[in-house]
Each structure stands twice: as structure tokens, then as C-alpha cells.
Amino acid sequence: MKVAAPAAILTTKRLILRPFREEDDKDVFAYAKDDETTRYLTWPAHRDVAESAWAIRTFFLKPGVWAICKAEDEVCIGCIELRTGNDPVDFGYVLRKDLWGCGYMTEALRAVLDEAFAHLKLDKVTGAHEQGNNASASVMRKCGMHWFARKDHVQVSPVKFADMEYYEITEEQWNADRRRR
């Protein structure tokens, strides 16, 4: 399925989702160095700023990958990606640990889902999290997503297997949920 490129910049009440810049390397390292933050990701904690700079150049400088920044200062506090090349389309995200529980990731995911349905005209978006990652499950449910499957021992990276929980939301469900908000 060929999908148009997502918007370069998305804004919410408190956030700007924008393309990464190479100078975000120190901000990325601030969250990527933490083992607890990266516990459920497909990549390990970064060892130094140079590794974060490499990740930005190698993975983050492409359409559909946004630096999550507070609108007040544009400091990069996380990352969210809409993977339109996957079938079904899915996403991934990470947020600096000291900002967990503040609603930032729910706000960012809502902006990305709105982009997916309102502008990219997608029919459905899926998401997954490792079993036990209750915070990620909560974000997806707050965004109107519905659990649909569990798969055990899924290979999530070349060296990592995990039990996964899967969620989805259709354009119709998204639009119905938006009317209720």
C-alpha cells in the first residue's frame, strides 16, 4: 500500500512534533541512555551522545518520525514514528522518564492518529506493546484503541523476543471517538 508522506510538523496544545535535527543528539541521549526508558524498546540504551547522534542520522531523519518537543522550549523529550510502510500501518514511541504520567505521549499519539486518518486517509492503525508495559497499553486505550490479540515469543529485534499485546483503531472508530471528546 502506497501512502502519502505525513506532515512534517504536527502541533498540539502543549507539544510540537517536528523532524529531528542532528543537534537533538544531547536531548535524545538524555532519554535514550536510561535502561528503564528503553526496557520495552527494540534497541538498547545508548552508551554515549555519539550513539544518539548516529541513531538520529540513521533512523530518525525520515518522514513519519517526529521529535516530540514541548511547545514552550522545543526541547526534544521523546520520539514517535508512524510506520506507513508496514501493513498494517503501526507506530512506536518513547518518552523521557521524568515526564511519564503527564499525558504527553497520549497527546502525541492523538496528533499522529489524527494525521493518519484525517490527512493520510488510512483505514486502520495498529499498535503493540510488550506484555507488562501497562503504561503503553494505557496510552493506546486513552487514544480509543482496542485490544485484539496477544502473541507469545514474538521476535521484535534480531536479538529480542517478547510476549506482545496488539491494539487497533479504524478510521470510523477514531472519528466516533473524536465526536465524543
Please name each of the domains of the chain with its CATH number: 10-180 (3.40.630.30)
What is the pTM assigned to this prediction?
0.95
Q: Tell me the average pLDDT across 130-154.
A: 97
Does pLDDT of 3 surpass 60? yes
pLDDT digits (tens, 9 = 90+) for 166-181: 999 999 999 998 766 6
User: What does the alpha-carbon distance between residue 88 and residue 14 come to, in Å, rounded to a whole number?
Assistant: 29
The predicted structure's pLDDT at residue 181: 64
Q: How far apart are the first and last CA of the chain?
A: 31
Q: Name the average pLDDT for the chain.
A: 95
**Grid cell at residue 52:** 544518539
- pLDDT value for 171: 96
* Beta strands 124-130; 146-157: pairing state: unpaired
Largest CA distance in the chain: 45
pLDDT at 93: 98
Cell 548516529 identifies what position?
Answer: 54
Q: Specify which residues 79 forms β-bridges with.
A: 67, 94
Give the confidence band of 2 by pLDDT, cuts at 50, 70, 90. Answer: low
Q: Scanning the structure block, which residue is given the C-alpha cell 523532524?
A: 19
* pLDDT, mean of residues 85-93: 93
